[in-house]
Chain A
Amino acid sequence: MDKLKLPDMDYVALLPMLALFVAACLGVIIEALVPRRFRNIIQLVLSIVALAVAMFFVVKQSGEVVASKALTAGGAIMIDHAALFLQGALIVLGFVALLLFGERSLEFGGPFVAQAAVTVGSERDREQTGRELGSTETFPLALFSLSGMLLFVSANDLLTMFVALEVFSLPLYLLCALARRKRLLSQESALKYFLLGAYASAFFLFGVAMVYGFAKAVDFKAIHAEALLGEGNSLLLIIGLALLAIGLLFKVAAAPFHVWTPDVYQGAPTPVTAFMASCTKVAAFGGLLRVLYVGFDGLGWQFTPVLGAIAALTVLVGSILAVTQTDLKRLLAYSSVANAGYILIGVIAGQQLGLTSVLFYLVAYGFTVIAAFALISLVRDADGEATHLSRWAGLGARSPLYAGIFTFILLAFAGIPLTSGFIAKLSVFGAAIDGGQTWLVIIGVITSIILAFPYLRVVVMMWLSEPGESTPSVSIPGGLTSTALGIGTLATLVFGVVPGPLLDLAEKASSFVR
């Protein structure tokens, strides 16, 4: 019998993922051993240390990428420049979002429920809302999710991608159900996210099976080679790609697969929403880019028109429905749908310019959206966060500083110059014109104008209305939320004024190794 040949493993290249995974496992053990009142600080420190270690190795790796050695773990993982950029972005954005997870000063016990299993509305539930410290399982869950995302953006075959997709989705479903206040909404959002997410990943898996039937393998190199060869049943290939795309477009929240987004963003605890809005988007677009440009780029002329139609529909649906919203979290959810559409325009543009613009957009948008949700978590009344638009009327007179920051963030979403949103949109549209997709740019510009309306309406409401009886107060943020808000806002400003360094970094990263 032949000797069993072990696959080559470059453990240093896998260290960012392993660090987060080990920290998450340690976090689970801490939950079992440490008394409740110390857990929050210990979990937070552990998570931050793990993220720092992961970031260290990502930076270290980025200096020594060699195309011939990028493939590791028996061909399952590809650590190239793009993967490292996306991993770095995920780690940094994950760090900022985790700061919001740890905040305990806004309300007693933090944003998460103490015992998720307790029935809503029961005696025991009322007791725990007011008196018990929130659960800290959220940290290991978020770390599991993050390590799945790191794997997702560096997966080199469809099976690894499917497993990573589930590893990063499953903890997110649970996190959605853990809000301290408005638990019914939170649980409902978890149910909807779970059912639709599992439905989408079933499509993804069937797509994997079809592609396997076509290419006899599921790694991107083989798929690419087989597609170029043009033998075999190309129907399987087309069906496979379509089903894969459904799974991925669901995760990026592109229309018509976006219906879960507003419900989940509104119902989930705000720190989790911030985490989803920034990190999930980076991971999902990273995966989409790799599938389209490493595995299936031979089919470019077949998928580009379809993807173009989806991008156009996404920006239209996102911007038009954002106008009708009355809840701030829902408004930002539709704005995130529209932004997914703008990023898709960059994806379609392709070439190096398109990839660069997508990578830049993902990072810039991630920081801005975290800052936005950090601010939403500050505006509260006796029932928790006051997210209804009418409640924000007159906030400018109450607390000019926070209203000013929020105005700045909204202007960044609208794409006003001197914010990162402007540079991001400009580079995406520039790449699309370069790639011959002028019609998408026209639709993109029109929808940007439509989208400016709901943002500016919030701004006008905050500054020009008189504060009424029901205007909630803005809580003084603790150190963690202030840091997250500060980092997000500062990044929005810095990437808007001096985008050069990040654009350079994104340009270096915009090549996939096949």
Chain B
Amino acid sequence: MTPMWYIVLSAILFSVGAVGVLIRRNAIVLFMCIELMLNAANLALVTFSRINGTLDGQIMAFFVMVVAAAEVVIGLAIIMLIFRTRRSASVDDANLLKY
């Protein structure tokens, strides 16, 4: 089986995440879609690492995991803050800033 299929899979996962961010309304789901995009990038990195025959890609995937974990901490803190006040995590409800 050629490793190229994994790249195709990662592109599909990335697209699912990217479209998900655009069409979903719940901040938590949006956030999960972004995580999906990051993990799709991880899959691509690891696969390219295999195709290229260098280890860099696998090392990069570790870095990305750490960064994604830090992002989760910040993101959930902000979403919690909004949820406490508004009792809703919908991004459509956060609409005070406009025009």
Contact = CB atoms under 8 A, between A and B. Distances in A.
Contacts, number: 124
Interface string A292-305: 00000000000000
Nearest to A267: B97
B79 interface: yes
List 3 A-B pairs, minimum CB-CB distance, nearest first.
A202-B37, A209-B44, A213-B48
B10 to A, nearest CB: 8
B99 to A, nearest CB: 8
A364 interface: no
B27 A195 contact: yes
Nearest to B56: A217
Contacts of B82: 187-188, 191
Interface string B23-40: 000010011001001101
Nearest to A204: B41
A300 to B, nearest CB: 25
Given A188-B94, A195-B34, A213-B48, A119 B85 contact: yes
Contacts of A194: 74-75, 78
Contacts of A188: 82, 94-97
A187 B85 contact: yes
A239 B28 CA distance: 29
A209 B45 contact: yes
A406 interface: no
B80 to A, nearest CB: 8
Contacts of B97: 185, 188-189, 192, 262-263, 266-267
Given A213-B7, A217-B54, A166 B81 contact: no
Interface residues of A, number: 45
A60 interface: no
A378 interface: no
A391 B44 CA distance: 53
Interface of A: 116-117, 119-121, 159, 162-163, 166, 170, 173-174, 177, 184-185, 187-192, 194-195, 198-199, 202-203, 205-206, 208-210, 212-213, 216-218, 262-263, 266-267, 324-326, 330
State the main secondary structure of chain B at its contact with A. helix
Contacts of B31: 195, 198
Contacts of B98: 263
Given A195-B91, A213-B52, A174 B96 contact: no
Contact of B78 (A121, A191, A266): A191
B56 A218 contact: yes
Given A187-B78, A188-B94, A190-B78, A199 B41 contact: no
A191 B60 contact: no
Nearest to A158: B60
A420 to B, nearest CB: 30
Given A120-B85, A195-B91, A216-B52, A202 B17 contact: yes
A108 to B, nearest CB: 23
Given A159-B63, A187-B82, A191-B79, 15 more contacts: A159-B60, A170-B71, A173-B78, A184-B85, A185-B97, A188-B94, A191-B91, A195-B75, A202-B37, A203-B18, A205-B64, A209-B44, A209-B48, A212-B56, A262-B97
